[in-house]
A and B are shown apart, each in its own frame.
Chain A
C-alpha cells in the first residue's frame, strides 16, 4: 500500500485524469464531492470583482420548495456531497435558516461563502448548525477593503464574522482574498491582519473576469504580480495555513509548495454549481451558454450523470485539461505559467 500511495502521490493529477477518461469510457460517473448553490443574486455590496455580478435579485430565483426538492433532495440521491451555499449574499435570503435546517436534517454537510456583514444576525443558526467551512471575504487592510467593497465598516464586519463563526464552532473559517491588480502588492500588510483574525486559513483566490468582473478586466493582476503573490504565499505557508485556490491552476510538481493537495480542476468532474435560477454550470461562471441544463427541467442527478461530457473525455482541451483552472482558461487567461514559471512534470 505504501508503494501504491507513493506512486499515486507522484502522479496524482495524471492518475486522476486517466481515471476520469476511464470512467467515461466505462459509462460511469463519479459522485460529486461538492455542489455549490448560488442561493441568490441579491447582495448589498457592489464589489467590482464579483464573479456572479450580484446586486438585485434575479428573476425567477429558485423558491424555498424548489431549493429543497430540486437541489437538496437530489444531492441526497447523489451521495450527499458537501453543499456549498454562496451568492450574492446568501444571508439575504429570508428562508436561509429553513434551508440549512433541512440540509442538516438530510445529513448533508454544508459550507458557505459570505461577505460576513450579516453573520452576527444569524448567530442562532450557526450555533445550531455550524457550517463545516465558512469563507469570509477579506480584500485588504481596512481602508482598502472598505474602499473596494464600497461600504465603510465592511472590513470590521468581516473580522467580526470570522470571530463569530469560530465561537459558533465552525471548524474551518477561511479568510478569502481575491487577488486583483489593486491588492496583489499589498498582501504583506494584510498578512498580520489575517493571522490575528482568528481565521484558520487564508485562501488566495484569483480574479476572474466573470460577472461584474468582466466589466473590470483591468483588475487582472499582471504576470509579475502573479509570480510575486505565488512566491509570497509559498514563503508564508511555513507560518500560517495559506493556500492558493483553484483559479491559480496547477504548479505541477511544485504544487506541494502552494497547497495541501495537488491541484485538479474539479469542474464537471467532482463539483458543479447550481445557479440562482436553477441552471447547472460546471463552475462559477455567469455565462449561461455553459449550462448543462436546468434543475426545473431535468433532475440534477440526470444532469450530473449525462452532462459535463466535455470535462470527462479527452479532446476538448479547454475543458479536459485538469491542470488548468477551467474558469481562467475559458477567459483566455491561463495564469499558471505566469505564476509558477514553466510548470514541471514529474514522471512516475
Chain B
C-alpha cells in the first residue's frame, strides 16, 4: 500500500520537474541551480560520461585500427631520438626495445619490486609527514625547501643552516620512534659533512635514502636531493647502479602516490584550532579511502616521471660491450643500438668502447668504466666538448637558440653550465642557465 503511494508521489514529482523544464523552455526562462539539485545533475553528468566512455572503448575494440581508442594508445611509432618530442610520462621503456632479454644477474640485487608502503598503517605514517595543513606546508616540504635553499659552499655561520636543522628536527619529531632517531642522526651527519666540505661515499648517500624510507618517507624533492649528492661520487658500476635503481623505485612510489591522490582525493591535515580539547583519537589527518589500493595498483605501471622522460641524452652504441643498467636491470647494448641515457641510468663497459651522439660526436668509455648522465659530458671527444662550451658561452650571452639547444643536451652540458655559472654568475644569460639546470637537478 505504502509503495503504491510512493510510486505515485515519485511520478508526480518527476512530472512536475518535467513540466517546469518544458515551461522554462517555452518561456525562455532560465533558473539558478539550487544546491539541492546540484548533486543530482552532477550524478547524471557522471553517468553520461561513464556510458560514453564505455561506448568509446567498445567502439575502439571493434574497429581494427583502434580509431576509437584514446590518442596515442595504438601508436606504435617510436621516435628515434628519445630525448626530444615525448610528452610527460608518455615515454616508457620503448627505447630499450631492440635489445635482448635483460640479463638480470648483472643488475644490482634490490629485492622484490613491490609498492613500498605495505599497508594502510604505513600509509598513515607516511601521510602524517607529507600532509600540508591548509596553506602551511607539511614537515617534509619545509625540510626539502630549506635544504635546496642552501647552495654549495654556504658558510657554516649562515642562518640558513639553522633553518635546515630546525626543519629536520620538526620532521623527525613528526615521524617519532626509533626510525626517526636514525633518520635524524643520519641526516645531521650529512649536514655536518656538507658544512665541513667533507666527502661522502655512495654508501653514505644511500644510507640517507634508507633512513627516509624507513620512516616511511617518499618524496620526489628529497630523492632528487639525494641523487644530486650521489651522482657526482666516484664509484664502480654496481654501487652506482644500486643507488640509482633505488632512487628510481623511490620516485616510482612517489608517482604512484601522486596518481592515486589525484583519483581519490589529496592527503590533508587540519590542525585542531578550537579552544576545547580535541575528541579522543582525533588526528586531523584525512587520507582518502582507497588511496593505498590505488597507489599499489598504479605502482607496477608507473615510471619515475620526469626522471624517466626529461633531461635525457640520445646516444648510439658504436661498439658492443656496453651494458645499460637501468632500474635494477642490465641490458647489453648491441652495436648500432640507439637509446636514451636517463639520469638514473649507468653505462658500464668491461673493455674500451665508443658511444655516439648525432651532434656532439663520439665519446669513449674506458675499460671497466661506469658512466652516468652526470659525467657523460666529460667523455666527449675534443670537438664535442668545444661545441658544448660554445653553446654555453652563447647562452650565457643571452642567445635563446643556444639555450634551447642546450636543453636537449643537458647530461652532456650541465657540468660546463655549472662551470660557466661559477665564473660569470651575473652574465645576461646566467639566469636562463640556472633555470635550465633546475630541469636537470630535480
Contact = CB atoms under 8 A, between A and B. Distances in A.
Interface in B265-302: 265-266, 288-290, 294
Nearest to B259: A256
Interface string B370-406: 0000000000000000000000000000001001100
A341 B88 contact: yes
Interface stretch (B30-38, B95-103, B200-208, B325-333): B30-38
B49 A14 contact: yes
Contacts of A29: 30-33
A254 B437 CA distance: 23
Contacts of B259: 256
Nearest to A304: B32
Interface string B84-96: 0011111000000
B88 A254 contact: yes
A332 interface: no
A2 B265 CA distance: 10
Query: DSSP majority for the A interface?
Result: helix
A237 to B, nearest CB: 9
B294 A6 contact: yes
A150 interface: no
A336 to B, nearest CB: 12
B19 to A, nearest CB: 13
A238 interface: yes
Contacts of B7: none
A255 B89 CA distance: 12
Contacts of B436: 185, 228
Query: DSSP majority for the B interface?
Result: helix
Contact of A232 (B49, B219, B435): B435
B48 interface: yes
A7 B53 CA distance: 11
Interface in A171-189: 171-172, 185-189
B145 interface: yes
Interface string A16-33: 101100110011111100
A195 B149 contact: yes
Contacts of B44: 19, 22
A185 to B, nearest CB: 4
- Which of B134, B136, B435 has the largest number of chain A CB atoms within 10 A? B435
Contacts of A231: 306, 310, 439
B48 A189 contact: no
A255 B439 CA distance: 18
A188 B400 CA distance: 16
A18 B48 contact: yes
B407 to A, nearest CB: 7
A28 B41 contact: yes
A185 B264 contact: no
- Which of B29, B134, B431 has the largest number of chain A CB atoms within 10 A? B431
A10 B132 CA distance: 23
Interface in A317-348: 340-348
Interface in B71-124: 71-72, 86-90
Interface residues of A, number: 65
Contact of B258 (A18, A256, A342, A346): A256
Interface string A235-265: 1101111000000000100111100100000
Given A9-B263, A11-B53, A346-B70, A185 B435 contact: yes
Contact of A228 (B54, B86, B89, B439): B439
B220 to A, nearest CB: 5
Contacts of B56: 347
B5 interface: no
A340 B87 contact: yes
A8 interface: yes
Given A27-B24, A31-B33, A240-B137, A257 B88 contact: yes
Given A19-B41, A19-B45, A340 B88 contact: yes
A124 interface: no
A192 B149 contact: yes
A78 interface: yes
B15 interface: no
Given A28-B32, A306-B30, A22 B141 contact: no
A232 B258 contact: no
B87 A342 contact: yes
B14 interface: no
B149 A238 contact: no
Contact of A238 (B49, B220, B290): B220
A185 B431 contact: yes
A321 to B, nearest CB: 16
Interface in A100-130: none
Closest 10 CB pairs of A and B: A341-B87, A185-B432, A348-B53, A238-B221, A19-B45, A27-B24, A256-B262, A200-B135, A186-B431, A188-B435
Given A2-B288, A19-B42, A235-B442, 7 more contacts: A4-B43, A29-B31, A187-B435, A228-B436, A342-B87, A343-B87, A348-B53
28 contacts: A7-B50, A11-B49, A15-B46, A18-B48, A22-B45, A26-B24, A28-B31, A28-B33, A29-B30, A29-B31, A30-B38, A185-B436, A188-B431, A188-B438, A189-B434, A228-B407, A228-B435, A228-B436, A231-B310, A235-B224, A238-B144, A239-B144, A239-B145, A251-B88, A254-B87, A340-B88, A342-B71, A344-B71
